[in-house]
Amino acid sequence: MSIVEPSSGSAPAVDDGLYTVICTGIDERIVENDQFGNPDKLEFHLELENVRDEDDQPVTLDPRINRKWSEKATLYKWAVAFGLDISLDAPLDTDLLLGR
């Protein structure tokens, strides 16, 4: 059995539903001791369109995904969802996702 320690940090409260997001940035991250041996990550900065917090600031989410490029990879699925016309035979420039 695995033991899960309490998490720290804060996440915005967002009601269940579907939201349009805009990719405002992507950073490369290294996650030490990744349980699946994939330390190389991309941290996306996604702004929820037309959603504001209690201080009237845009709500953003910062999910991390593996820095992998294949048909089964989350990055590929996100690139398709963001509307890129892409080829798995060529490298992906993540700057193409910005503003989408």
Is this structure's pTM higher than 0.85?
A: no
pLDDT in tens, 1-24: 566 666 666 778 888 889 999 999
pLDDT in tens, 60-80: 999 999 999 999 999 999 999
Sign, Cα dihedral of 97, 75, 83, 43: negative
Can you list the pairs that 32-36 forms with residues at least 24 positions away whose Cβ atoms lie under 8 Å?
Answer: none
Contacts of 89 (CB under 8 A, 6+ apart): none
pLDDT in tens, 23-64: 999 999 999 988 888 999 999 999 999 999 889 999 999 999
Radius of gyration of the chain (CA): 15
